[in-house]
Amino acid sequence: MQYEKLAIPDVVLITPQVFGDERGFFMETFRQSEFEAHCGHHTFVQDNHSKSAHGILRGLHYQHQHPQGKLVRVTQGEVFDVAVDMRQSSPTFGQWVGVTLSEQNKQMLWVPPGFAHGFYVASEEAEFQYKCTDYYAPGDEVSLRWDDPTLNIQWPLANQQLPVLSAKDTHGVSLPNAPRFN
């Protein structure tokens, strides 16, 4: 696997080696020792899988008291995936990085604890799978506004149409009012 640190160096794009032939393909999606060497020591305790239709935006989410690191990938379709640094002491606080993850490129993104995370579905539908370093704690989840002008995230919205959001995401908080990590 190749590990590439992005503009926010703690966020890492992982490209697996894919072995394919007329029968299909094989790839390794996770190896603890390599992950630790490139991303740090983290233990995953929960795996999640979601399916979303075109134009849906999920996020930007994070847990404040029980922060989750997420290793994310797309197994069907394509999404634009975003991580926002919520660590107040970080030199990249309030900055974001975004990458396209798809079933074709088979890339994964490591989003460490201390980051808000979200994605926009660019294909007809997408299946999204991710490993988490802490359990989901519903009362602890924060939804950061996807369209916060302070962040100025360049979402690749289809035909400049507003994305489909959950009620929680519609009422997300702006960066200046959001809980932060030290």
Other beta carbons within 10 angstroms of residue 90's beta carbon come to: 17
Q: How far apart are CA 86 and CA 59, in angstroms?
A: 14
**Which of 42, 117, 120, 130 does the annotation list as catalytic?**
130
**Which of 61, 62, 117, 120 does the annotation list as catalytic?**
61
Q: How far apart are CA 156 and CA 12, in angstroms?
A: 21
Q: How far apart are CA 80 and CA 100, in angstroms?
A: 5
Given a contact cutoff of 8 angstroms between Cβ atoms, the answer to whether 53 and 105 are in contact is: no
Would you call 61 a catalytic residue per the annotation? Answer: yes
Structure tokens at 171: 């009422």
Closest residue by Cα to residue 141 from 172, 95, 111, 120: 172
Would you call 54 a catalytic residue per the annotation? Answer: no
Q: How far apart are CA 163 and CA 9, in angstroms?
A: 29
Q: Which residues are catalytic?
A: 61, 130
